Amino acid sequence: MILITNGQIVTENGILVDHDIYIERDLIKAIVKKGEGNLNGVTEVIDAHNGIVSPGFIDIHADYIEHMAAPRPTSLIDFNISIRETEKILINNGITTMFHSLSLCKDEDQFLNKPIRYSENVKKFVDIIDNTHKNKHLIRHRFHARLEIDNFEVIGSLKDYIKENKVHLISFMDHSPGQGQYRDLEIYKKTLKGYKDVTDNYLDEIIEQSKAKDKMTIDMIKEIAELGLEKNIAIASHDDDTIEKLALVKEFGTNISEFPITIEVAKNAYELGMYVLAGAPNVLMGGSHSGNLSAAEAIINNTVNILCSDYYPASLLHAIFILNKEYDQDLGQMFNLVTINPAKAVKMDNLIGSIKENKKADIIIIEKIEEDFPVITTTLVDGKVISKINYRS
């Protein structure tokens, strides 16, 4: 049995002090007042040194694995190496459950060449994610299927993945210019120019071709969503930009709104009972890189209740403390944005997401090596210590 003591314990309802946590095998056995627990059977004592003891972070939208597998657009690293090295990075950023967000988009792209997103490579990764979690692993691996709605070719494969229990979250995306994330065409052009030096005339041609693409019908999307719901898979919409779109996606069982474009849309999604997700890098940068919703503003106004790392794993940890210090948000509630709230959204809150008796012992300890620099000093998954760092001199 493991005892964690001298920590500030993050619970769903606030931060608990002067209490100890007892862990037996893979579960949290008891949370008791300090010194009142039974030490019989305790084989290891972990001193939190007054640090924060939090549930492990649950990241339901992140394509970081793509960067690890393709550090250059056309340079592919062995996928097994990629996922194992990614694990080592994630545990030191407090992420104990990762929904690897793989894009199911068309292989051909007139502008960008990303072999990591080719269908054959996505399939390899889906299988590796599944196999890794069934065998020895440091964190909990899940697959977030991001379906671009102009990619008809992948529908059959996605249905197979769902039937094989390899999918744990489905989101429907439309990245065509003139709506959603890229409703501002000038920002869209600026984004593309960041990848390649091209003329405005060439970009205008790309935009017109993109607008002319066929997209899946609502019935086709509903069919996929219904198949997912039968498997108890959460459904998300992406880059919601109108109230009307929210009403539409709710019809086929969507319970998560990812990256709503404006605070008005985010508020409406929240009022509809949806979980509303924003990117933690948005908090670190002080706003959206594409000129859309400010995550901090939305959180202050109680319209966003989940943060994801999106593409930068360290952002979850730092966003929590930035929101607390710079925006005067309650620290315990900020932890909920990356723990119990995402767990509820993806229907895993019976197992993980909070420090509670009989839940999985996925726990991290956070200390500060400088006044404003938090670090993960200990990480446990399934009650096992998988990382421990001592920064004290």
138 and 275 part of one domain:
yes
Q: Is residue 45 part of a domain?
A: yes
Mean pLDDT (whole number) for 12-24: 96
**114 pLDDT above the threshold of 70:** yes
In the block, residue with structure tokens 């309650």: 330
**138 pLDDT above the threshold of 80:** yes
32 and 91 part of one domain:
no
* Strand-strand pairing, 95-104 and 140-148: parallel
140 compared with 117, residue with greater pLDDT: 140
367: burial class by Cβ within 10 Å (0-12, 13-18, 19+)?
buried
47 and 21 part of one domain:
yes
Mean pLDDT (whole number) for 219-224: 92
Specify the pLDDT at position 369: 85
Sequence-distant (≥ 6) Cβ neighbours of residue 194 within 8 angstroms: none
17 and 118 part of one domain:
no
Specify the pLDDT at position 179: 45
Which tokens sit at 94?
């407090």
382 and 339 part of one domain:
no
Specify the pLDDT at position 180: 45
Q: State the pTM of this model.
A: 0.89
283 and 143 part of one domain:
yes
Please tell me the total count of domains within the chain.
Answer: 2
Q: Is residue 209 part of a domain?
A: no
254 and 145 part of one domain:
yes
**213 pLDDT above the threshold of 90:** no
Beta strands in 206-269 (DSSP E): 234-238, 256-258
The domain in which residue 311 lies consists of: 57-174+215-345
Specify the pLDDT at position 123: 93
Specify the pLDDT at position 61: 97
Q: Is residue 12 part of a domain?
A: yes
State the angle between helix axes of 155-163 and 218-230 in degrees (0 to 180), rounded to the nearest 10: 20
Specify the pLDDT at position 207: 57
Rounded to an integer, what distance in angstroms lies between the CA atom of residue 261 and that of residue 202? Answer: 27
253 and 117 part of one domain:
yes
- DSSP 8-state secondary structure symbol assigned to residue 227: H
Beta strands in the chain (DSSP E): 2-11, 14-24, 27-33, 44-47, 52-55, 57-62, 95-104, 140-148, 169-173, 234-238, 256-258, 275-279, 306-308, 363-370, 373-381, 384-388
164 compared with 288, residue with greater pLDDT: 164
Q: Is residue 126 part of a domain?
A: yes
326, 345, 364: which is the final residue of a domain?
A: 345
CA distances from 144 to 62, 170, 231 (A): 9, 6, 14
39 and 103 part of one domain:
no
275 and 316 part of one domain:
yes
Rounded to an integer, what distance in angstroms lies between the CA atom of residue 63 and that of residue 58? Answer: 14
Q: Is residue 340 part of a domain?
A: yes
Give the number of C-alpha atoms closer than 13 A to the C-alpha of residue 267, restricted to the C-beta side: 8
- DSSP 8-state secondary structure symbol assigned to residue 64: H
Rounded to an integer, what distance in angstroms lies between the CA atom of residue 130 and that of residue 128? Answer: 5
366: burial class by Cβ within 10 Å (0-12, 13-18, 19+)?
buried
Give the CATH number, domain containing residue 46. Answer: 2.30.40.10
Specify the pLDDT at position 164: 96
246 and 291 part of one domain:
yes
The pair phi, psi for residue 368, each rounded to 5°, is -115, 125
DSSP 157-202: HHHHHHHTT--SEEEEE---TTSGGG-SHHHHHHHHHTT----HHH
169 and 293 part of one domain:
yes
Rounded to an integer, what distance in angstroms lies between the CA atom of residue 188 and that of residue 185? Answer: 5
Contact (CB, 8 A) for 298 and 278: yes
265 compared with 217, residue with greater pLDDT: 265
Contact (CB, 8 A) for 308 and 62: yes
The pair phi, psi for residue 320, each rounded to 5°, is -55, -50
Specify the pLDDT at position 192: 54
Nearest to 12 by CA among 373, 271, 325, 342: 342
Give the CATH number, domain containing residue 110. Answer: 3.20.20.140
Which tokens sit at 160?
């197979």
Name the average pLDDT for the chain: 89
Q: Is residue 221 part of a domain?
A: yes
Query: In the β-sheet with 140-148, what is the strand arrangement from edge to edge?
Result: 57-62, 95-104, 140-148, 169-173, 234-238, 256-258, 275-279, 306-308
Q: Is residue 393 part of a domain?
A: no
Q: Is residue 113 part of a domain?
A: yes
